[in-house]
A and B are shown apart, each in its own frame.
Chain A
Amino acid sequence: MVNFIIDGKKVEAKEGATVLQVARNNGIVIPTLCCHESVAPSGACRLCVVEVKKGKRTRIVTSCLYPVDEGLVVETKTERVMNVRRLVMQLLMARCPESDVLKAMAKEMGIEPQPAFHPETDKGKCVLCRLCVKACEDVVGVSAIGLSGRGKDKKVGPPFVEDSKACIGCGACAYICPTEHIVMEATDGKRKIWGRSFKMQACEKCGRYFAPVDQLKYISQKTGTSLKELAVCVSCK
């Protein structure tokens, strides 16, 4: 256990925990986009910045990556922190002017879009946080999508921007996407994601379409459960 101070409050935390985790456990609000419990933190969105004082030195760090330490002094709402956070938010808004999630967040923080940062029109709602890529790789384990290009051309998607053979249509990327950039369309018996259409499996008992056939095949292959067993939805099991 380590003892340190956060926003003037003495707190105790487990060693190895991050500043963000401890702050949230203590009811301190820190905005984030790229933080998700099922994926390792990466500090991509830069919204979770806080000011950390260790010894004589004060600096701005991403709280989702910074481990707590004995004698640390953390400030989450100082002017310096808010300045950085405001700038990050303004840049994010210029990148994704259409994102409702960002708009709502900005409103909450009282931030207006800045004319100095010219809004992009071709980036969609993607902030390049890599959550979807990591979910696809680490959680699902298929690596169907990834980043490509560099700098202003960087974007997320399946390789060669075509139907990915590796994709199983699970929709984890659409679920985890913090800005609703990845769209999954569901119609009866079909699911469309990344431009590819997936046939859905109807539950053998209730007839509800509950998962893509490709995903069930993948689960069957991985766990050794027969496809027949998997053809029944969770609520009918």
Chain B
Amino acid sequence: MKTAKNKQKSVKSIIKKYDGDKTAMIAILQDVQEEFRYLPKEALSSISKQMEVPLTRIYEIATFYNAFSLKPRGRNLVEVCAGTACHVQGAANLMDRIERDLKICCGETTKDKKFTLEEVRCLGCCSLAPVARISGNIHPNLTQDQIPKVLANYK
């Protein structure tokens, strides 16, 4: 776990990377999210202080984009596609199965902090429907039966 001081330090270095450019706020938040897997409240406050941007403005950006999370996320992000093609091919069943297997609802994180489950609109590979993306890896033509095996690889 990162200590509070280390957190401060990494936020500082991220801001420095962009020369404190206010227009690079989204990029900065993306980097912070990569570092902590979510946007910690303290990180947003310190960005606000260091860059002299009101906290409300940063909060507005952080809550607007789906890619940003204000809640801690698990080590692996499971994104189940619910786009039209995947939906037609039974994405809802996939989601059901994963929810049951991980014992969490969509949008939640498992107790052991290994998985966060989210629904996304389209991953841009409709010919592989139904798909899920786990920690950046696309799993094509998924069926319910494959799910325990797939998830086990990430445990």
The answer, yes or no, to whether A178 is at the interface (CB within 8 Å) is: no
A214 to B44, CA, bound (A): 23
A174 to B132, CA, bound (A): 46
Query: Chain A interface mostly helix, strand, loop or mixed?
Result: loop
In the complex, what residues of A have CB within 8 A of residue B41's CB? Answer: 160
Contact residue range for chain A?
10 to 19
Closest CB-CB distance, A184 to chain B, in whole Å? 19
Partner of B54, one of A146, A147, A149, A160: A146
The answer, yes or no, to whether A111 is at the interface (CB within 8 Å) is: no
Residue in A closest to B70 when the chains form the complex, CB atoms:
A160
CB of A149 within 8 A of CB of B63, answer yes
Partner of B60, one of A142, A144, A146, A164: A146
Q: Which of A122-158 contact B (CB under 8 A)?
A: 133, 137, 142-150, 158
A160 to B63, CA, bound (A): 10
The answer, yes or no, to whether B51 is at the interface (CB within 8 Å) is: no
A160 to B59, CA, bound (A): 7
In the complex, what residues of B have CB within 8 A of residue A164's CB? Answer: 56
In the complex, what residues of A have CB within 8 A of residue B59's CB? Answer: 146, 148, 159-160
CB of A147 within 8 A of CB of B60, answer yes
Closest 4 CB pairs of A and B: A146-B56, A143-B54, A159-B59, A148-B63
The answer, yes or no, to whether A166 is at the interface (CB within 8 Å) is: yes
A sample of 17 more A-B contacts (CB under 8 A), given A146-B54, A149-B63, is A137-B54, A143-B56, A145-B56, A146-B56, A146-B57, A146-B60, A148-B59, A148-B60, A148-B63, A148-B64, A158-B56, A159-B58, A160-B41, A160-B59, A160-B70, A166-B54, A166-B55
A164 to B58, CA, bound (A): 14
A146 to B64, CA, bound (A): 12
A-B contact pairs, 20 of them (CB 8 A): A133-B56, A142-B54, A143-B54, A143-B55, A143-B56, A143-B57, A145-B56, A146-B56, A147-B60, A148-B59, A148-B64, A149-B63, A149-B64, A150-B64, A158-B56, A159-B55, A159-B56, A160-B59, A166-B54, A166-B55
Contact with B along A192-231 (1 / 0, CB 8 A): 0000000000000000000000000000000000000000
Closest CB-CB distance, A163 to chain B, in whole Å? 12
In the complex, what residues of B have CB within 8 A of residue A148's CB? Answer: 59-60, 63-64
Contact with A along B40-75 (1 / 0, CB 8 A): 010010000000001111111001100000100000
In the complex, what residues of B have CB within 8 A of residue A146's CB? Answer: 54, 56-57, 59-60
A133, A146, A164, A166 — most chain B CB neighbours (10 Å)? A146
A230 to B44, CA, bound (A): 34
